[in-house]
A and B are shown apart, each in its own frame.
Chain A
Amino acid sequence: MRASLSRPARAVLGLAGCALLLAAGGHLALTFLAVAPRNAASSKAADAVNDYIYPELEQNWQLFAPNPLARNETVWARATVRTGAGDFRTTPWRDLTAEDVAAIRGNPFPGHLDQNQLRRAWDAYGQSVSGPERGKDAHGVLLTTYLRRVVLQRLQQHVQADADAADAAGDRIIRVQVRGRFALIGPPAWDTARASERGVKPWFRTMPWWDVEPGDRIPGSRP
């Protein structure tokens, strides 16, 4: 500490220094507890850690860990459309993830819209539904609405295009349904220990029909 300063000035500097070191140390300690596996200390301080870390200091670094996802999940959707003439028809299932994947192919700078929007909407929905609240809590309701809107927005563009092609104005989606397709990547050829995971047929999980609600119709985002 600078000797030229008066005693009170040095005291202020000393106190401030201690406070800053404490703050930095406390921040790192809480951050460490947030990223560490659940342990004796972090479960005791779980509330304090969560209150401190969320929402602005979120830590999420388990990148492809402990294991990378061993399957490709694709989101399919279909809709019931009320036509301009007043009839109802249900569209065939459409693989929405395939559109993302096609946009990423050969693109050196894939954007968040193609790489993250549908993928993370589906992930977050899945996590909230399989969580303890089964998607019924406030966040679960938000995430269900979000997934419904993501697929609605994309289906709407196709329905619109089809209607334009058939010159059938006034087609309107009244409900949507989502299903996930799970396809194991399967082990590499030289991996004999996991032979049982080879050649497993993809399976689907189908969600209930969701009625389109007011506020769900957001104009399309893709040209």
Chain B
Amino acid sequence: MRRLVDRFTGTVLAPYQAAVVRIGFGGLFALFLVREWPNRLALYGDRSPWGLDLVRRQATLDHLFTLLVWSGSRFWFELVYTAAVAAAVLLALGWHTRAVSVLFLVGVLSVQNRSLYTGDGGDNVVHLMAIYLVFARCGRVWSLDARRRRAALRRDPETADAPGGTAVGLWAGCGLALAAAQLSGFGARTPGAWAVVLWALWAVHGAWGILNRSARGRGSEARAVCDGIATMAHNCAMGVIAAQVCLVYATAGWYKIQGDKWQDGTAVYYVLHLDYFRPWPALDSLLAGSSFALLAIAYGSVAMQVAFPFTVFQRRLKNVLLPLMIAEHLGIAVVLGLPFFSATMIVADALFLPTAWLRRLGAAFGRATARRRAPAPAARPAEALTLKG
């Protein structure tokens, strides 16, 4: 019990898994926004049939958060959309992760809530993860933050955690933007609770920066307490993320069990004949011809989804289960024409991969990038090591 408490308060658990969530969902959202770039105005801008009048009415009725209701001007739209892309890329890179994770959340909610009726399951997953990531210390490894910290540690371990000019500037900029939003009256179009949340996050970041600025602050008990709270919040967030993924699979699986078409194994036949999820009809006909294959796919997916929460915490079982689920989602991406949704689910699966696999993956990636940068691989072995974090 004592050991459990110590780990909960003192250890940032699952740092590699947190990095998977950050890089995965940040990167995917960036790719999504770039993919939809040609259609951005029709989906989220002034060419959308879900016009500004409709979304404003809906935002008031349902207390939605989106910066895109503040103004209908083209300039404002392009600014927010581009900023959302930038925040997603920076989050994936792990640049000032804690601050950028809040900006990423604002970007995700702004874009998605502008047109809720064009989203699907993939958007829903990203939406929730963006919220959870704000509470996670997700930049500990595989991030620019981690690289900067290592360099700072080599220079002077004493001041490694002191906030640099960029961090202070970012923080001040966010404060100014928040104040401007509130004073200009734009903020009035956003539910008041969000102002409280965003100001609170800003204050917490500020307090943490102040504590880390001076040697006295860094050695203080207040900093140790704050560090402990941040660690506990991270651990809670990772637990919630894992539980959320389990709830997704459990819901998808348990409800299928009640359906007679999943019971008799014909469900996949119907899915393959839905016009909206049918980019390759020839492929579907091939699959749909075999009653046996369809039955196996139907029973297999339901079994995996129902079993997910119960097997994913058992090391040996999950090492079999996860590759199977990832393979199934790769199949869905192609066969049903749902690449974005499938990719979000693959990231959700990858979150449960064992740390050893993830570290090996990271090391391989580090070697590959180091080789590309320095033609003579033996010349800079230290660089390869530091890259993997």
Contacts and interface: CB of A to CB of B under 8 A. Distances in A.
B232 interface: yes
A16 B127 contact: no
A13 B260 contact: no
Given A111-B39, A191-B266, A221-B42, A35 B247 contact: yes
B279 A106 contact: yes
A64 B271 contact: yes
B243 interface: yes
Contact of B274 (A31, A66, A69): A69
B156 interface: no
Contacts of B57: 138, 142
Interface string B172-213: 000000000000000000000000000000000000000000
20 contacts: A2-B10, A9-B221, A24-B239, A31-B244, A55-B113, A60-B124, A67-B267, A67-B270, A68-B267, A69-B274, A97-B275, A101-B275, A104-B278, A115-B276, A116-B117, A120-B117, A145-B54, A149-B50, A185-B274, A190-B291
Interface in B101-144: 109, 113, 116-121, 124, 127-128, 131
Contact of B262 (A65, A70, A120, A150): A65
B243 A124 contact: no
Given A31-B247, A101-B278, A117-B43, A215 B51 contact: yes
Interface in A107-152: 107-113, 115-117, 119-121, 124, 138-139, 142-143, 145-146, 149-150, 152
A69 B252 contact: no
Interface in B328-375: 334, 337, 339-340
Contacts of A143: 117
B48 interface: yes
A39 interface: no
Nearest to A150: B49
Interface in A21-65: 21, 23-24, 27-28, 31-32, 35, 54-65
A143 B54 CA distance: 9
B259 A67 contact: yes
A119 B275 CA distance: 11
B270 to A, nearest CB: 4
A165 interface: no
Contacts of A112: 36, 39, 43, 118-120
Contacts of A145: 54
B153 interface: no
A177 interface: no
A37 B46 CA distance: 39
A124 B251 CA distance: 21
B333 to A, nearest CB: 9
Contacts of A62: 251-252, 255
Interface stretch (B61-69, B161-169, B319-327): B61-69
A72 B276 CA distance: 9
Contacts of A58: 124, 127
Contacts of B228: 1-2, 13, 16-17
B259 A218 contact: no
Which of B5, B46, B117, B260 gathers most chain A CB within 10 Å? Answer: B117
A145 B56 CA distance: 14
B239 to A, nearest CB: 6
Interface in A176-201: 185, 187-188, 190-191, 193
B225 interface: yes
Contacts of A120: 117-120
B224 interface: yes
A205 interface: no
Given A109-B339, A115-B337, A149-B49, A23 B236 contact: yes
Interface in B253-306: 255-262, 264, 266-267, 269-271, 273-276, 278-281, 288, 291, 294
A174 B229 CA distance: 61
Contacts of B233: 20
A32 B236 CA distance: 17
